Chains A and B, each alone.
Chain A
Amino acid sequence: MNFKEYLQNNIVYLDGGMGTLLQANGLQPGELPELWNLTHPEIITKIHTDYFNAGSNVVCTNTFGANSLKFDEAQLEQIVKAAITNAKNAITNSKAPQHKFIAIDIGPTGKLLKPLGDLDFEDAVSVFAKTVKLGAKYGVDLVIIETMNDSYETKAALLAVKENCDLPVIVSNAYDQEGKLMTGATPAAMVALIEGMGADALGANCSLGPRQLRIVAEELLKYASIPVILKPNAGLPKSVDGKTVFDITPQEFADELTNIVKMGVRVCGGCCGTTPEYIKALTDKTANIQPTPLTKKNLTVMSSYSHAVKFGESPILIGERINPTGKKRFKQALLENDIDYILAEGVNQQEKGVHILDVNVGLPDIDEVAMLESAVCELQAIIDLPLQIDTADICAMEAALRRYNGKAMINSVNGKAESMAAIFPLVKKYGGVVVALTLDENGIPSTAEKRVEIAKKILANATKYGIDKKDIIFDTLAMTISADTSAASATLDALYTIKTELGCHTSLGVSNVSFGLPNRDAVNSTFFSMALQNGLSAAIMNPYSSDMIKTYYTYNALKGLDPNCTDYIAHADEFTATAPSPAATEPSGDSQYASELQYAIIKGFKDKASEITKELIKVNEPLSIVNLEIIPALNTVGVGFENKTVYLPQLLMSAEAAKSAFEVIKSTMPSGDTKSKKPTFVIATVHGDIHDIGKNIVKLLLENYGFNVVDLGKDVPAEAIVEKVIELNAKIVGLSALMTTTVPAMQRTIELIKQKAPWCKTIVGGAVLTQEYADKIGADKYARDAMEAVRYAEEVFNI
């Protein structure tokens, strides 16, 4: 019987701690345990044998840290080969009667993935792939990915297994006392991710004892349709007379874990501190327990790096604003690669209360594959909402799904054979909940019946790919009533039938219904409430529309989905006309300020600066506002900073206020007009350095002073910087480094610039830099602070 078959109808016993036993055998702190496969094979084999004799079905090879970051390839192969041989010898040595399997053990790399760390996602996949391939080559029964404390790294490892072998794979994460991974994921989020990618079992190990992990197990069991694993420590460690002691005995461990097995856990074992004695106690105690049958949960769930969003409770709001369609300013941001603008749209929508963000960056003149991938990576680094990847470009879809840290929503598939053949394999491989549009080769049917027929066709086709009904959301296509007044009822009728008869969740791009009509919000919000009443599960909508938000909270309150009307009451004041923001009420009655706008900028009132500018621009030329208001205000603050009467936080608040005024001006100017005449300043944090706050401060101020700042980000290789300088024929480049270890990278960059782009001036800054250091590495200028950088740039351009 192979492992997959055995797993279906049995409780599977894993082994216990390896590190604990190696230490008992003399492994020193800091010594690499994987080398013991080669140096002490008899000890490793004995440990595996003891676990089999204690009743383990599966032993995990001593390869937790066996990866190509720690070992070179030849050594890695030797280690994995020896580790598997040691486990196989244990099968031969043990006379115990149970089914026995060998799992190649894959632990975390010990590195944090980009952008918060420095290991690229694809590099992580390659690292894991090497170990996986060796496991398959030397013959194991399954792969165990364990002790992962980051969702993104878990995904990289699982992807490496799926792409490089056909072995069964089980995945276990390390949760902390809060019941979350180190990087924030809840058990529900991990179930969505891991199950979505087709693992054979999932669960929790290490960190805590069975008592503390019980809540995690309960959560996993609530969401998972595949077997759940629990492999806890022998309680919590403490130091007694210089030795590590864990605080529960084998018997207590077995008692606790038995209760959890009765709850439904199907794969169990021990982690740190557990020994064959613990496993023996566990197998004895649970010998007569019948395995809980697996049940399909049929939950429609997507996830971000931190949490899961579940369909079917209250309606889900999907923010539609990250989309260039009909938005001049957004198109301009895409053309200028202005990722900050896109991120701000994400953050603002989150503040309005959406649950998911739709991400569409399709524009004819840009590289959509690169742009979508980059937008997804940047958004998921700072916003914890699940994303809906929205593109018609299959390559862009795959690139984004691959890099997505969680289980995404996919927008969209439709009833055309070609669409299903392209999208369904991606859903199957990367996991995801896919929006299915009820149209096909014959277009959008005008009747509800025909749309339902297409839905049935899509469901039948999805089944062939092994995609569950729960992972398909139907969009019955809202069409504008300005063209056909029966359009709304066809959409709603189809929605109702799909919800009630097919039992599927639904979604609509609500705003389409009012296209071509005046006061669209009124139509949209009424249509939204009608759709909700007909069973709509999610709406792609504009969260800045107070009518839509009003409908959402009112519907929840009326439907009994908002206990004590708490949310309704909390948001009720947003439903009326826009309340004046606090900043707008700040008094300005001080005669030392030349104007209201200058006052707002000098004081750093962002909202007020933007409001006043909106008023000013109705009667003034944009350029006169810049020259007579914004620049003088900035100068006042800048000079104050240089004279040490204004401090850095104040300088930045003023700079942000000025930026919000500029933003208003920018949105009224034709796109392309704003940047062409400005001097170009290239800026980057050098290779190896992940700090960018100083760089961003300089960028903000330069932008305010009228420079076109091309920001290459952080950890940027010298070659990439030089390439950009040449491409743009830039006259000046700013480099930032925070650590002494990254100053050499700065020096390399400067040398390369001098060689390849000798016309370009270099200006450097950062915590460790001094004038002396800057001279040593050949920089043209050292800037102590952001204002000094601005002054030098003005000098270079003769401004």
Chain B
Amino acid sequence: MNETTLTKTYSAPPIDKKEILRYAGGIADDNTIKLLNECINEALNHITYKVCYHKLPVKLNGDLCDFGVFNVQSKNLATNLSGCNSVIIFGATVGIDIDRLITKYSHISPAKALMLQAFGTERIESLCDDFCKDIQNTLKIQLKPRFSAGYGDLPLDTQKQIFSLLNLPKNIGLTLNDSLLMSPTKSVTAFIGIKEV
């Protein structure tokens, strides 16, 4: 049941300002809200919403999660995927332009950089939420919570397998550096178990 790798572009999810303020460590006073709105206005048109995903079978053998084309040893992931026969592995990014804006303002206005950083985090999380909803609806399946490399005992190294499976640099412009950090930085990769009904 090796499915194909698919790439999808989404439209902008609704903006959750409360969540952005939470990420920025701020409160909703007039000045902070003004700063937030400026950042949203400047960044919003530069953001793209791309996801690349692949459905794979999974066999659990103790802590070993075997996806056929590769396997990983992780108690926490095995627990997360318990009862699943298949998973969706995906990579998502809101693009490089938000990184440019963050870099720009980190030189000339750290307050804006902080707010843009928070906005980028809110955008990528919202994109992941939208993607999961979309997959549940179109495939008519129930999904478990997302589980990323670096959570619990799942080695960050797993990123290498995810990147080579999904060909993320080519498909959505997402790259992995030598320290296993992703560029663009506002990106997520994760496993999502498909619940058996």
Contact = CB atoms under 8 A, between A and B. Distances in A.
B35 A649 contact: yes
A242 B32 contact: no
B99 A116 contact: yes
Interface in A703-745: 739-742, 745
Contacts of B114: 648-649, 652, 693, 697
A431 B88 CA distance: 46
A693 B106 contact: yes
Interface stretch (A471-479, A545-553, A683-691): A683-691
A656 B181 CA distance: 30
A29 B69 contact: yes
B141 interface: no
A176 B172 CA distance: 9
B104 interface: yes
A650 interface: yes
Contact of B25 (A150, A244, A340, A648): A648
B156 interface: yes
Contacts, number: 169
A370 to B, nearest CB: 19
B69 A177 contact: no
B197 interface: no
A656 B106 CA distance: 11
B177 A690 contact: yes
Interface string A760-790: 0000000000000000000000000000000
A693 B110 contact: yes
B4 A243 contact: yes
Contact of A649 (B4, B26, B54, B179): B26
Interface string B68-99: 01100000000000000000000000011101
B80 to A, nearest CB: 20
B70 to A, nearest CB: 6
Contacts of A745: 179
A108 B26 contact: no
B173 A741 contact: no
A739 to B, nearest CB: 6
B143 to A, nearest CB: 17
A696 B69 contact: no
A116 B183 CA distance: 7
A92 interface: no
B181 A689 contact: yes
A147 B104 CA distance: 28
A118 B103 contact: no
A112 B179 CA distance: 13
Given A29-B69, A182-B96, A649-B26, A239 B103 contact: no
Given A693-B102, A700-B110, A242 B2 contact: yes
A237 interface: yes
B113 A696 contact: yes
Given A648-B25, A692-B106, A110 B175 contact: yes
Interface in A595-652: 603-604, 647-650, 652
A381 interface: yes
Interface in A103-118: 108, 110-112, 115-118
Interface in B99-140: 99-104, 106-111, 113-115, 117
A584 interface: no
Given A648-B26, A740-B156, A117 B177 contact: yes
Nearest to A107: B170
A239 B8 CA distance: 12
Contact of B181 (A340, A381, A700, A741): A741
Contact of B161 (A30, A237, A696): A30
B24 interface: yes
Classify chain B's interface size: 35 or more
A119 B69 CA distance: 28
A183 interface: yes
Given A117-B175, A242-B1, A741-B156, A696 B181 contact: no
Nearest to B4: A244
Contact of A740 (B3, B150, B164, B177): B150
Interface string B160-188: 01011100011011011111110111000
A741 B7 CA distance: 29
Nearest to B103: A382
Nearest to A183: B96
B183 A149 contact: no
Contacts of B69: 28-30
B103 A116 contact: yes
B15 interface: no
Nearest to A348: B108
B164 A30 contact: yes
A184 interface: yes
Interface string A180-195: 0011100000000000
A178 B107 CA distance: 29
A28 B164 CA distance: 11
A718 B31 CA distance: 40
B34 to A, nearest CB: 9
A675 B170 CA distance: 48
B173 A183 contact: yes
Contacts of A693: 102, 106, 110, 113-114, 117
B110 A656 contact: yes
Contacts of B178: 118, 688
Nearest to B9: A177
A339 B161 contact: no
A347 interface: yes
B177 A656 contact: no
A690 B4 contact: no
Given A28-B69, A30-B161, A344-B108, A689 B31 contact: no
A174 interface: yes
A648 B165 contact: no
B142 interface: no
A111 B177 contact: yes
A30 B177 CA distance: 18
B5 interface: yes
Contacts of B185: 690-691
B27 A237 contact: no
B32 A650 contact: yes
A653 interface: yes
A426 interface: no
B196 interface: no
Contact of B5 (A29, A177, A347, A655): A29
Contacts of B35: 649, 653
Contacts of B164: 30
Contact of B107 (A149, A177, A243, A343): A343
Contacts of B102: 693
Given A649-B32, A649-B114, A741-B156, A689 B107 contact: no
A40 interface: no
Interface in A145-195: 147, 149-150, 174, 176-178, 182-184
Contacts of A697: 110, 114
A147 B170 contact: yes
B55 to A, nearest CB: 8
B179 A739 contact: yes
A222 interface: no
B22 to A, nearest CB: 11
Interface of B: 1-7, 9, 24-27, 29, 31-32, 35, 48, 54, 69-70, 95-97, 99-104, 106-111, 113-115, 117, 150, 156, 161, 163-165, 169-170, 172-173, 175-181, 183-185
12 contacts: A28-B69, A149-B169, A149-B173, A176-B9, A183-B96, A239-B3, A347-B104, A382-B107, A648-B24, A656-B109, A656-B110, A693-B114
Closest 9 CB pairs of A and B: A182-B173, A652-B111, A244-B4, A382-B104, A688-B179, A118-B177, A649-B26, A648-B25, A110-B169
